[in-house]
Amino acid sequence: MLAPNPGPMTLDGTNTWVLGAPGAGPAVVVDPGPDDEAHLRRVLEAASGQGGVGLVVLTHRHADHSAGARRFAALAGGPPVRAADPALQGGAAAGTPGLADGDELALAGGRLVVVAAPGHTADSVCLLLEAPGGPPLLLTGDTVLGRGTSVVAHPDGDLRAYLATLERLSAVVAGRAVAALLPGHGPLPGEPGAVLARYAAHRRERLAQVRRAVAGGARTAADVVAVVYPGLAEDLRPAAERSTRAALAALAGEDGTPDV
């Protein structure tokens, strides 16, 4: 369900996913989105056809995915909110750890498995959705979008971790025969293996562009952006500079010199 928060960084808005099978039991709601009362109530109405909401899951901490979680849980009667970052959780027993790689979450009519996916943020996760009679699907949060590419913004974003995550997801997609990626923004992006390969190739090419810019004399993130993103719209420049800082951090070895 599409949240009403379109913008340069959110595309058409945040995709809230309502997972379950009618008549099988309560739904799992992934990324309730912003704290928008009308949107949260629409999501709750959709889940009511599956017997309400048994669990709320966050793919990462960014407000366009998580800000409405506590209000939504209250509207839904208090289901637990789970996330990799324990600070985002609610409704669970005190001391409940944050989501970790391989955790299985209760899902009526299927199975939901956590896949740790650091890179876009340190706390990003993807969710492997398996149900009888159909191929697995992978909810990607902001790790993979429906169009364009994800921002990896320094300091929470880590480009080395992101590239490792793309490699890991490629293995999951191939090994589990994942049929589709369900992104946090935008439409379904196409054949999963090809999309992930394209994402990795784009990031490596961007790293090469940043390396060349630095070799040519660029010293700051703003300098690099001027070279690598000519003609960039002003409203996208801050995100490009944060992304460039992540690239510069990835290129910097312990002695401060590029090592990739």
Q: What is the pLDDT of residues 119-140, one digit of tens each?
A: 999 999 999 999 888 999 999 9
Report if pTM > 0.85: yes
- Residue 258: per-residue pLDDT: 44
pLDDT at 254 over 70: no
Q: What's at 99, amino acid-wise?
A: L
pLDDT at 96 over 90: no
- Residue 257: per-residue pLDDT: 44
pLDDT at 51 over 90: no
Quote the mean pLDDT of the chain: 93
pLDDT at 204 over 90: yes
- Measured CA to CA, the distance from residue 46 to residue 72 in angstroms comes to 13
- Measured CA to CA, the distance from residue 69 to residue 16 in angstroms comes to 11
Report the percent of the chain where pLDDT is more than 90.
80
Query: What CATH architecture applies to the domain 17-189?
Result: 4-Layer Sandwich (3.60)
Q: What is the pLDDT of residues 168-192, one digit of tens each?
A: 999 999 999 999 999 999 999 999 9
- Measured CA to CA, the distance from residue 41 to residue 52 in angstroms comes to 12
For the chain, the domains span 17-189
For residue 86, is the peptide bond before it cis, meaning its omega torsion is within 30 degrees of 0?
A: no
Joined tokens for residue 9? 């960084």
- Residue 49: per-residue pLDDT: 83
Count of helices and strands (H, E) across the chain? 7, 9
Q: What is the pLDDT of residues 146-161, one digit of tens each?
A: 999 999 998 999 999 9
> 114 falls in which pLDDT band (50, 70, 90)?
very high
- Residue 259: per-residue pLDDT: 39
- Residue 235: per-residue pLDDT: 85
